[in-house]
Amino acid sequence: MRRLEPVEGRSPLVAAEAVEKIERLERAIATVIKGKREAVRLGIVTLIAGGHLLIEDVPGVGKTTLAHALARALHCSFQRIQFTSDLLPSDVIGLSIYNQHSGVFEWKPGPIFANVVLADEINRTTPKTQSALLEAMAERHVTAEGVTHPLPAPFIVVATQNPIEHHGTYPLPESQLDRFMLRLRIGYPSADDEKEILRDREYNDPLNALRPVMSANEIVELQRSVADVSVDDALIDYLMRIVGATRDSEMLDLGVSPRGTLSLFRAAQALALTEERAYCIPDDIKRLVLPVFAHRILVSSRFASSLRRSEEAEAVLTEIMKTVSVPL
């Protein structure tokens, strides 16, 4: 195993241990998710960068399975919320219930109070219920009836949605999308990978055999290690030129927000750590621009095409990347 370069305030040994933990987690998830190394890697990047993940793809390709595999590989609390049109904010956050014996109202926390929260088919619930997640995702606490309740650490929301169904769905508003650090698509497996999936599930579901390989404390420690990864000023300037180009582009009505800038910065640090480096390189930025920025920008109606919104955004970002000089 290659050793990371020494990081100020952290020994090379600790850095090597961080890499070993990440590799162990990736191997565990890969026993369930076949042939999708990039999707698994980006899911881990989101986790150790302290962000939230939106998985958007057609039905049946493993969106929910990836979320379950990530949760089962962690020795953490897990809750699944099935978002439906009749789901209420209190069904997510919790509520106070009057106790007739004690004569007082008692707080009953909702499923949001878990380390890993699966928001399944998040776009099938109303905007009012979707907004119940905003404070939790941004602030790591929820406020109910004037009282603030902290959420456990680590805390990650993994949301899934189907991009092609419109009946009975409520598209996520920009403010909600901006809370997700990354959006990824899994895609169809190759013929060989799909054959392996069939063989693996011939008698048992490999998800049932998946055991935790990382504790909550280890995740928090990895998140601290991510902050130690160095980012050269030239790379920061490169990142800012990309962000500025999205804000100045006549093709976009909405450019990347400061939260998006910070998300790419932190995700690049996390990606470098998963690649066994204590420093970022330009490829880290380029590799993450689409999954971090595409869901945050809004293509102008003047340049709309037959492509889906996500595909239009990716096309614009790809063109912007061609115009921004890469630091040497």
Residue 158 lies in a domain: no
pTM of the model: 0.90
161 — phi, psi (to 5°)?
A: -155, 155
Q: Are 294 and 183 in contact (CB under 8 A)?
A: yes
Residue 243 lies in a domain: yes
Residue 251 lies in a domain: yes
* pLDDT tier at 307, thresholds 50, 70, 90: low
Instruction: Tell me the per-residue pLDDT of 25-49, one tens digit each, with 9 for 90 and over.
Output: 999 999 999 999 999 999 999 999 9
Residue 240 lies in a domain: yes
Q: Are 291 and 182 in contact (CB under 8 A)?
A: yes
Here the CATH number for the domain that contains residue 239 is 1.10.8.80
CA atoms of 164 and 311, how far apart (whole Å): 12
The full DSSP string for 212-247 is: --EEHHHHHHHHHHHHTSB--HHHHHHHHHHHHHHH
Instruction: Report the pLDDT value the prediction gives residue 164, as an integer from 0 to 100.
Output: 64
Residue 12 lies in a domain: no
Residue 247 lies in a domain: yes
Instruction: Report the pLDDT value the prediction gives residue 103, as an integer from 0 to 100.
Output: 82
User: Based on the structure, what is the number of domains in the chain?
Assistant: 1
Q: Are 321 and 286 in contact (CB under 8 A)?
A: yes
Residue 282 lies in a domain: yes
CA distance to 234, 290, 308, per residue, from 274 (Å): 22, 19, 31
Share of the chain above pLDDT 70, in %: 92
Which residue segment(s) compose the domain that 306 sits in? 229-328
Q: Which residues is 54 bridged to in the sheet?
A: 159, 183
**205 SS3 class:** coil
Q: Are 296 and 177 in contact (CB under 8 A)?
A: yes
Residue 310 lies in a domain: yes
- Three-state SS across 250-281? CCEEECCCHHHHHHHHHHHHHHHHHCCCCECC
| Amino acid, res. 29 | I
Instruction: Tell me the per-residue pLDDT of 92-133, one tens digit each, with 9 for 90 and over.
Output: 999 888 888 888 888 899 999 999 999 999 999 988 898 889
pLDDT of 280 over the 90 cut: yes
